[in-house]
Structure 1
Amino acid sequence: MSKIETGYADYTHAGTTFEAYVAHTGGTHRRPVVLVAHQWAGQCPHECERADLLAEAGYVGIAIDTYGKGVRGTVGQDNSALMSPLMADRALLRDRLLAAVEFAKSHPLADPSRIAFTGFCFGGLCALDVARSGTKDVAGVVSFHGVYPPPNLGPQGPIHAQVQVHHGWEDPLAPPQDVLGLAKELTDAGARWQLNAYGDTVHAFTAKGMNNREGGAQYNEIADRRSWQATLLFLEEIFA
């Protein structure tokens, strides 16, 4: 296995500087890029570890930043003060996400024609919003235990990115009616989409150490493993 090279790189949007964590195995050949959007605490070790795993799989893995360089919350605490402004301004969120895509395309090891976008919790919504933007720069998106409210930025245009959704069926933040609403939204937008739902599974099922079942958030090793395996297969397909 090749050694993973990691580091941080800045990018900007509308006067704000953001900090990306970048992982790859070096060399000079261009390869697909997979972005990883963070949960509500901001970029943390979980997203960076996923970027490392993506690098091991042969991609450039980039854990992005939607809050701004140095702006981070606390894992396991209430970080709504950071997330809520972007939830209230989905156009700004979309533009920040697309700025991260542009940064990824510019990486010297990137094949700019093969970009994917993934995300966890709040980042799962971010992945879906990238698809909703209608961009043709992203081949596919993957949402892990995300939330599904549409951005309500006007009529939804065609969705060009393929979509894979991993959902804990008992997630209190995304009840069944929300899942059905997302399915209708994606279908109406002409998206090629896939939903993997995991029984006896709540929110944050990929977050190791999370153990708050009563609060609706708990790690689930089986759902974590199966969703990641399905993601790797999805990436292989969209980049073939």
Structure 2
Amino acid sequence: MKITALLSLAAIALATFTASAQAKIKTEVVEYKSGDTTLQGFLAYDDANAQPRPGVLLIHDWMGVEGYAESRAKQLAELGYVAFAADIYGKGVRPADPKQAGALAGKYKGDRALYRERLKAGMAQITGNKLVAPGKVAVIGYCFGGTGALELARSGAALKGVVTFHGGLSTPTPADAKNIKCPVLILHGADDPFVNPDEVAAFKKEMEDAKVKYTFIAYPGAVHAFTRPDVGTDNSKGVAYNEAADKKSWAEMKKFFSQIFS
């Protein structure tokens, strides 16, 4: 009888602890402006910690600030960072399918000045957050957002580091790499048909010409969008989830953050 009671108390204590731990991550939908355009980002942080800490600006893939970007922001918050998923497209502008997503992403990839404006607006949001330690902000990006993360760095933003996951690497202004003030980590699918070898070679030359410290990791057998479980696992489509690459790339990001934020 006593053993049963003790087990019941232990189960209740465990459940309480688990609920408490889960409740620490607070999320907020944040409206902000870029010029006359209203944007709607997503903030995640551990509200049990009142001390300033490093911040991570997350740039979404071509689907916008939706479930996937939000889940990654929460994961970053669980690691102890203040995470802000910036909105590039605008409040209420969320593609319904890949066709719409391609058109939206193409608009900003074709107008890098506008893209940088939206990126800088997101940067202002995270650097202005009282929970973020001054001078300790990194940026990460997925696919379209990887292109954006690099563009933000090329604009001369005060970043501690840049991480891209299966991101686009090209830019119309490679000379702007001289403005990059931090190390860069590229996590790439070795078989990605949307970021071809010529683009990879041009990017490496861009970094080397500008003397930017960068690390380029290519995962064999991984194609585009290798961190998104919802795209399926058929490599022949050019986009496919790769569990090994997903886990390894996240671990590389964590190691990189531990170095730049130390």
TM-score normalised by the shorter chain: which range applies? Answer: over 0.9
The answer for the alignment partner of 1:216 in structure 2 is 238
After TM superposition, give the deviation of residue 95 of structure 1 in Å: 1.8
After TM superposition, give the deviation of residue 63 of structure 1 in Å: 1.1
The answer for the alignment partner of 1:101 in structure 2 is 123
Percent of aligned pairs sharing the same letter: 38
Q: Aligned partners of 2:71, 2:177: CA distance in 1, in Å? A: 33
Q: Larger % of helix: which?
A: 2
Question: For the Cα contact (< 8 Å) 1:169–1:175, is it kept in 2?
Answer: no
CA RMSD of aligned residues (A): 1.5
The answer for the alignment partner of 2:4 in structure 1 is none
Q: Which one-letter code corresponds to 1:209 in the other structure?
A: D
Q: Deviations over 1:54-75 (max 9, x none)?
A: 1111100111110001110135
1:81 to 96, 100, 103: 103
After TM superposition, give the deviation of residue 82 of structure 1 in Å: 1.2
Q: Aligned partners of 1:74, 1:233: CA distance in 2, in Å? A: 35
The answer for the alignment partner of 2:86 in structure 1 is 64
Question: For the Cα contact (< 8 Å) 2:190–2:218, is it kept in 1?
Answer: yes
Q: Aligned partners of 1:14, 1:193: CA distance in 2, in Å? A: 33
Aligned positions of 1:138-153 closer than 5 A: 138-152=159-173
Aligned positions of 1:166-185 closer than 5 A: 166-185=187-206
Q: Deviations over 1:12-63 (max 9, x none)?
A: 1111111111011113211110011111111111111111111111100111
Secondary structure of 2:224's aligned partner: coil
Tell which deviates more after alignment, 149-158 or 164-173.
149-158
Q: Which runs of 4+ in 1 moved over 6 A?
A: none
Q: Which one-letter code corresponds to 1:16 in the other structure?
A: T
Larger Rg: 2
Q: What stretches of structure 1 of length at least 5 have no aligned partner?
A: none
The answer for the alignment partner of 2:215 in structure 1 is 194
Q: Aligned partners of 1:91, 1:154: CA distance in 2, in Å? A: 15
- TM-score, structure 2 length as denominator? 0.87
The answer for the alignment partner of 1:236 in structure 2 is 258
Q: Which one-letter code corresponds to 2:26 in the other structure?
A: E
Q: Deviations over 1:178-220 (max 9, x none)?
A: 1111111011122110011001110000011212422200000
Question: For the Cα contact (< 8 Å) 1:131–1:163, is it kept in 2?
Answer: no
Aligned length: 239
Secondary structure of 1:157's aligned partner: helix
Q: What stretches of structure 2 of length at least 5 have no aligned partner?
A: 1-20
- TM-score, structure 1 length as denominator? 0.95
Matched, 1:7 2:31: no
